[in-house]
Structure 1
Amino acid sequence: MLDTQTDAARPVHAPQDHPAIPKAKIGILLANLGTPDNYDYWSMRRYLNEFLSDRRVIDYSPWKWQPLLQLIILTKRPFTSGAAYKSIWNEDKGESPLMTITREQCTAMAKTLQERHGDRVMVDFCMRYGNPSTRSKVREMVRAGCTRILFFPLYPHYAGATSATANDQFFRALMEETWQPAARTVEPYFNDPRYIEALAKSVEDTYGEVENRPEILVVSYHGMPQRYLMQGDPYHCQCQKTTRLLKERLGWEDTEITTTFQSVFGPEEWLKPYTVDEVARLASEEGKKRIAVMAPAFSADCIETLEEINEEIRESFEEAGGEEFTYIPCLNSNPAHIEALSAIVEENLRGWTD
């Protein structure tokens, strides 16, 4: 039975015992990867178990993978991952930076979209793994009267392990609703001119602030097994196109920018070159003393950028002889990024808000 709300009312011609129905709204649900609730062992174990049990992420047969995961990986990895999260944790808010930034993005986009559409739209966010869960936020939107929901995975590039699994979870949540809303999903925006412009401005702003211009920009994307590319996943090609469009927008030569892949996991060969190895090679073999690194595949800074890039990858570069390492933050809640994302939402709402 629908909850009675301040804007809920019984339909005009309905009988007296008919439940009140909220005023119809359009829900805009932003989605990011996820975050543990804390960095203690059990919080990390719950989060990693959900993440690493996803067949979109690890597609090995469960009868082979689950014993390894439950008996070995999840007895050790929560400690190391917890220590990494602890090093970047937002202690003031008691949450990970990804949670803080995603909330800021949601708040900024809600302000922009509600200025244009008023209370016709409801903007919120969810996480694929951990909290707030996709299921809980879909339920909230339906109870609030959202008869249409636009689901927006905040991944510029499509990958089965990111965009697809987020969409999977969204549709699973819809399956549980008695009154199922109409639904749309936002396609990847890796080549959207507004996204490329926001990236370019972030590079130009950072280069304008450093004393010595970096000799090369390393554009590091989250990796995936090479096998996934051969099976038809378009992620690798979309990443390469983003780098090319960024280079063209900046007006740079090929020698000033390069594409790499990070976060390798497991025994398989992943997309190459690996960022951690390439920055060391640039320092030791090519004599690059100054580099900058950015991660366009992440819409918000997270463990892979704040800890992996800014600590592990930086250390690899410096140990190989590099001297000046500049990390260019993700677009986060940068106004140009919010405007780009809001414009993408507007285009996907056509026909619903006209």
Structure 2
Amino acid sequence: MSPTLPRNHPPLTTPKTGVLLVNLGTPDGHDVKSMRRYLGEFLSDTRVIEAPKWLWWPILHGIILNTRPKKSGAAYRKIWMTETDESPLRHYTRAQAQELAPRLEAEGVIVDWAMRYGSPSLAQGIDSLCNRGCQRILLMPLYPQYSAATTASVVDKANAHLARLRRQPATRVLPTFHDEPSYIRALGDSVRAALKDGPEPDRLLCSFHGMPRETLDKGDPYHCFCQKTARLLREDLGWPQDRFQVVFQSRFGPKEWLQPYAEPTVAGLAKEGVKSIAMISPGFVSDCVETLEELAIGLRETFEENGGDRFTYIPCLNATPPMIDLLETLARRELGGWI
């Protein structure tokens, strides 16, 4: 039986559900000021830099934030989308949300997007959904391979913001999807599409963002998840092990990171006489400075300078139909019981 409402009481409405796509982050511009603000937030995260504050902060504020913004800004400048004045990561994350939204609209689901670092912030994304009537929110960190430095950081930041709210929405968090069949199939199809018009490369390199080696020693599952993604992708492609290799990119600082390192591996292959390689980066669902500048530009130059002939960069899934299909599959699974 429907409840009896007092006269002039607004009609009862079904609570809305929100989906918030969350990616790593992006500066607002490639100028030094924007880069310093972005790097300051990113490198202040204790999930990213696991060092005592008394040791790290003098290094961060006394050295890194006075030297790195200019260098990082130059890298962003090479891949900046001048027509819309934004980074590719912002462009593709917004596009993913816009393409996913109509697929869930009939169930009363509102889709939005946010960044862990930079804008729109995670707090802004949560508040935006709450202000539109969402009493349930599914957070979808767009990191296929879970790591404490990525997915856990999103959860930490979201919970810190929720702790300040008088009325909190119910929340869920998308788990790791490193071995999701539709994700592996989409990666395999992207490789086949990229290589269909030419001879197969001598090697296919599967590059993941690096992490300090100590994170693995402490029990972070990221390295294992990367290896499983790569194995499943190789099996989907049917490639032999001797032509398929996992590498790790984006080293930072003096500590040992996960190996083998991407740059010396690429240089070594060229010097050994390998004339053609292709590279894919399955740890990213959207192209960004790490893929477009570091891999597609930087490692191409490394390969060619050391004697290589043909370097093929395979783009991320971005906002392609297979990527939106994947997001819909993941969202519907995690929204079970809510819609």
Q: Which interval holds the TM-score relative to the shorter structure? A: over 0.9
Does 2:243 align with 1:252? no
Per-residue deviation at 1:301? 0.1
Give the secondary structure class of the aligned counterpart of 2:150.
helix
Alignment partners' CA distance in 2, 1:314 and 1:275: 11
- Which residue does the alignment assign to 2:80? 89
Give the secondary structure class of the aligned counterpart of 2:311.
strand
- Which residue does the alignment assign to 2:59? 68
Alignment partners' CA distance in 1, 2:4 and 2:267: 70
Alignment partners' CA distance in 2, 1:53 and 1:218: 32
Alignment partners' CA distance in 1, 2:238 and 2:45: 41
Q: 1:219 touches 1:295 (CA, 8 Å); kept in 2?
A: yes
Alignment of 1:247-326 (within 5 A): 247-285=234-272, 287-326=273-312
- Which residue does the alignment assign to 2:318? 332
Shifted more, 276-285 versus 31-40: the winner is: 276-285
User: Which of 129, 139, 150 is the equivalent residue of 2:127?
Assistant: 139
Alignment partners' CA distance in 1, 2:204 and 2:240: 11
Does 2:156 align with 1:168? yes
Alignment partners' CA distance in 2, 1:261 and 1:195: 20
- Which residue does the alignment assign to 1:218? 205
Alignment of 1:168-247 (within 5 A): 168-209=156-197, 211-247=198-234
What is the alpha-carbon root mean square deviation over aligned residues?
1.6
Q: 1:22 touches 1:145 (CA, 8 Å); kept in 2?
A: no
Alignment partners' CA distance in 2, 1:48 and 1:12: 55
- Which residue does the alignment assign to 1:49? 40
Q: Taking every aligned residue pair, what percent have the same amino acid on both sides?
A: 48
1:20/1:312 Cα in 2 relative to 1: closer, same or farther (>3 Å)?
farther
Q: 1:199 touches 1:296 (CA, 8 Å); kept in 2?
A: yes
Per-residue deviation at 1:212? 2.8
Q: 1:22 touches 1:144 (CA, 8 Å); kept in 2?
A: no
Q: 1:31 touches 1:127 (CA, 8 Å); kept in 2?
A: yes
Per-residue deviation at 1:318? 1.2
Per-residue deviation at 1:12? 6.9
Does 2:30 align with 1:39? yes
Give the secondary structure class of the aligned counterpart of 1:314.
helix
Unpaired segments ≥5 residues, structure 1: 1-10
1:37/1:216 Cα in 2 relative to 1: closer, same or farther (>3 Å)?
same
Alignment partners' CA distance in 1, 2:52 and 2:12: 45
Per-residue deviation at 1:19? 9.3
User: Which of 106, 110, 113 is the equivalent residue of 2:104?
Assistant: 113
Alignment partners' CA distance in 1, 2:34 and 2:215: 30
Per-residue deviation at 1:20? 9.5
Shifted more, 236-245 versus 308-317: the winner is: 308-317
Alignment partners' CA distance in 2, 1:193 and 1:347: 13
Shifted more, 165-174 versus 219-228: the winner is: 165-174
- Which residue does the alignment assign to 1:79? 70
Per-residue deviation at 1:23? 5.2
Q: 1:293 touches 1:327 (CA, 8 Å); kept in 2?
A: yes
Q: 1:34 touches 1:127 (CA, 8 Å); kept in 2?
A: yes
1:100/1:13 Cα in 2 relative to 1: closer, same or farther (>3 Å)?
same
1:157/1:284 Cα in 2 relative to 1: closer, same or farther (>3 Å)?
same
Give the secondary structure class of the aligned counterpart of 2:136.
strand
Shifted more, 192-201 versus 275-284: the winner is: 275-284
Unpaired segments ≥5 residues, structure 2: none
Q: Which runs of 4+ in 1 moved over 2 A?
A: 11-16, 18-23
- Which residue does the alignment assign to 1:154? 142
Per-residue deviation at 1:167? 1.3
Of structures 1 and 2, the one scoring higher in RCO (CA 8 A, sep 6+) is 2
CA shift digits 1:163-222 (9 cap, x unpaired):
11011111112112211111100001000000000000000001103x332111000000
Give the secondary structure class of the aligned counterpart of 1:325.
strand
